[in-house]
Structure 1
Amino acid sequence: MSSSAGASSMDTPMPQGWDDDERMSYLFSAFRESRDVNPHDWDNKQSFWKSAIMQRCKHEKKGVIDGERVAGMFKRKGRIPVAVNRVLVEMARCGEIVRQTDFESSVTAGWISWGVNQVVYKPLGWAYGAIFKRNVQSLQGPFIVLEVLKEIADATLECHHQSVNSDALDRLVDYTTLRESCRSTCVDDNTFRLALLYLRKTKKIVVTDAPPEKQVIKFIGKNQTRVSQITETEIGILRLKKTRVSLKQQIEQLICDTNRLQEETRQCLRKGLKSSAKSTLRRKKLAEKSIERKEATLDTLQEMMDRIQNAETDQMTMEAYKSGAAALKKTLADTGLTAESVDETMSEVQEVMEMCSEIDDTISQGNRDIDETVSLDSGIDTDALEAELADLLSNDESTEHIPGTNDVTARPSLLRDLPEVPDSEPIGSPDVTMENTPTLLAS
């Protein structure tokens, strides 16, 4: 293995395995005369070189290749891959690359008819025979790699959509402005022109018939399926925008001029050139008046653009109102809600509530009548009840026990026969203390 000695720049990506000398020697060699001899060999080389060509085109953001120079793009250690020529022929036969002249000549032809005739039948006739020849000559002239061109065209369309602030104001764009905004998408002017042609064929843009630098381009909207033709109103809006941009540039230049004239006036005064200073100051004043006039015009143009944009917003609002009103109307119709039905329902609710109130009143009045007519004392002797209550009360009072009472009947039966405890000490009894307690016990 050794490092690559190719002539390509260091930042250009090379195919995988480019540093493998043994593998590159095999891939650089020519195809066998017939695919039937070794289909695996043919398919490997076809896949490798087609992928390498696509990778290089996408990296360089170019959708056009020169048939005679493609092999030289992959020069390695002084060798040029012989197999590339046959790979290009096979890509042309399959419609993966087409001649640029054939692609451009199809502007007036239908996209489908051109695709069938130019991409399939025409290449099939010469490429099918050429691919089985022993010595295949390289394709001559520029060829378009359709897959890469389609990616660049889609990126251009997306770049425009991202720059749109108002559909009413940004429907159209001039070629120069679009080209500058898409520099990062496509660096090759020829490829960019062809990408616009591809978008035109697929009905995604409309282009005025003029040289590229004077062309006006209208893109398809994000929610549209096909672009509409350019109208005079849209042309007028585009002119309005360009005039506004031009006025801004003029005002910026005049401001720079006034600053410069102000400095020149000061220098003339320092040098004592009063007459020159006066003349320079007069020019400065004229520039300031010009700035005022242009700013007033710019304000008017800005107001007109705001009104156009507001008109678009108002239209969207009205359409939203119409859609909402239609949806609400249909919903009410589906549910059967009308002013008459609601009024009828509310009347029924009121009647039911009044009926419920009457029922509650009737139940309350019935309860009161029952309380008055039905007595719990019916069939019971009231005097007997009073006598029984008095008897229970007397029994409770006779059995009530008060602590410390001298009532013998209230004491337990065991203590009833014992004498009463005296309330005072006996007269002349000796004092009983802790000291003479043993003597008393002994006696």
Structure 2
Amino acid sequence: MLTSRSVLNPTMSLSKNEIINLDVGFTDQRLDSLYSDLGLLKEQNEIGYEFNIKAWKRLIKHLMDNGYFDQKLVINGKKLERKLSIPGFLKPRLDLVINELYKDRELVRLDDFKNSLSGGSLFLYIFQWINNRSFNSGDSNHRLKDIDYLDLEQLKKYSENVASLLEKQNERYTDRVIHKNTLVQRFSHKLCKEDFELILLFLSKEKRLLQIEGEVIKFGDAPIDESDIAIVSLKESADQMETELNYLNERLEVTSTNVKAYLKNGNKIMAKSFLKIKKLVELNIERTSSNFYKISELLNSINHAKNNLAVVKTLASSRSILKQLNGEVGDLEHVHELMEAISNETAKVDQVSELLGEASTDVDIEDEYEKLLKEQTEKDNLEDERLTERLRNLKTTETQDKRKTKELNDQPERYNQKILN
């Protein structure tokens, strides 16, 4: 059970202040509108109607998820109406709210859910059911009928969480087989037994993640057999022995303390009595521990045997596949003949390629020669042009150098002529 459920009374009505504190849509100013005739409001003020419906839907989902009812996944129409009735206000038109939740696939009738799982696919059934617009959660006076509704979205969410946790804890074969009560107790701090039963039903029938037979649960799609039932019995015995050992160890501690206390007080008779009890407890601990070890060893051996069996089955399957493939390949003589035939055909291909290569050799060489000759001629012409240009530039430079030299040589003569004049 939820921790919060211990302080909440599922049958007690909520007060006005409690309801106001649960959702922002509920205020002192809006309570009259929220507790008015929503059917009439829909005709007069559609926007106000939509706002009120959304506020009611949020409030109902919050109440379910936080333990205000007996279950987190299931809500009863009559109990819901009683829970949300406030003295001094009109009865709320919760039938319209439930109808909207029903139409939006957020709530389904619990009986429909169970019937769908036993008769086929849940979602196909719901799809067909959604199209049935004649459903009405209220009676002729708009009071909610005594119908149980399942929160489908919450069921999916919790189912995914439970499946994820269980998958991590099922490494060994014996861990995948468990007694239903043991599994329910493991999640009792989050969900009540009734909710968890619905989750197991959903995981088994709709998700196909586990098998259920009586009180035995097995994870996976393999059916439950006699060995699984025996494993569950062994595990139950081991759990009982573990509980007994915890009790005996606590008892041993108490008797040891009493023996010391009476020895200290000088009470010989009581000290001897508790000493006898201590010896008896120690003997029971030894016997129980020995049996607990034997069962634990047996469960461990079962795990090894199951692993060995899986390996043997895999090897047998592999051998069968290899045998089938080898049968399709044929005997060795057939393979040799096939390889020889392939070799002969490959040799023929090489011969044909060689003949074709010889026929085209002369043509190919001539073409290649002409191509290389053209490239070389172009290269030579380009080189000749470069040399000619360099020679032309060199002659121009030499001419310029000679002119400059002659000018320099003539300068003294011109200078002397100037002085003489």
TM-score (norm 2): 0.58
Change (3 A) 1:200 1:330: closer
Distance 1:252 1:82 in 2: 54
The 5 A counterparts of 1:20-419 are: 21=29, 26-33=33-40, 40=47, 42-60=49-67, 62-71=72-81, 73=83, 79=89, 82-92=92-102, 96-101=106-111, 103=113, 106=115, 109-112=118-121, 116=125, 120=129, 124-127=133-136, 136-166=142-172, 168-186=173-191, 188-202=192-206, 203-209=208-214, 216-221=215-220, 224=221, 228=223, 230-315=224-309
Q: 1:95–1:119: 8 Å Cα contact kept in structure 2?
A: no
> 1:434 — aligned with what?
none
Greater shift in the superposed pair: 317-326 or 146-155 = 317-326
> 1:94-143: per-residue Cα shift (whole Å, max 9, x none)?
65434445555x38941348974997289643429x79x8x633233432
Unaligned runs of 5+ in 2: 1-14, 327-331, 337-421
Over the matched positions of the two proteins, sequence identity in percent amounts to 21
Per-residue displacement from partner, 1:202-228 (whole Å, max 9, x unpaired)?
Answer: 24444344xxxxxx241433xx5xx63
Instruction: Name the structure where helix makes up a greater proportion of residues.
Output: 2
Equivalent pair of 2:20/2:26 in contact (CA under 8 Å): no
Equivalent position amino acid for 2:18 in 1? A
Given that 2:20 and 2:28 are in contact with CA atoms closer than 8 Å, whether structure 1 keeps it comes out as no
In structure 1, give the amino acid aligned to 2:212: V
SS at match of 1:207: strand
Per-residue deviation, 1:34: 9.5
Q: Check the 8 A contact 1:152/1:185 in 2, yes or no.
A: no
Displacement of 1:169 after TM fit?
0.6
Q: Look at both structures and tell me which one has the larger radius of gyration over its CA atoms.
A: 1
Q: Is the 8 A contact 2:259 2:272 kept in 1?
A: yes
- Give me the CA root mean square deviation: 4.8
Secondary structure in structure 2 of the residue aligned to 1:173: strand
Shift of 1:62: 0.8
Instruction: Say how many residue pairs are matched.
Output: 319
Q: Please give the alpha-carbon distance, in whole angstroms, between the structure 1 residues aligned to 2:320 and 2:28.
A: 70
Q: Give the alignment's TM-score, normalised by structure 1.
A: 0.56
Counterpart of 2:169 in structure 1: which amino acid? S
8 Å CA contact 1:258, 1:284 repeated in 2: yes
Query: Structure 1: 5+ residue runs without aligned partners?
Result: 210-215, 333-337, 342-443
Alignment deviations for residues 237-294 of structure 1 (CA, whole Å, 9 cap, x no partner): 1111121122222223333333333333344444555455444433333332332222
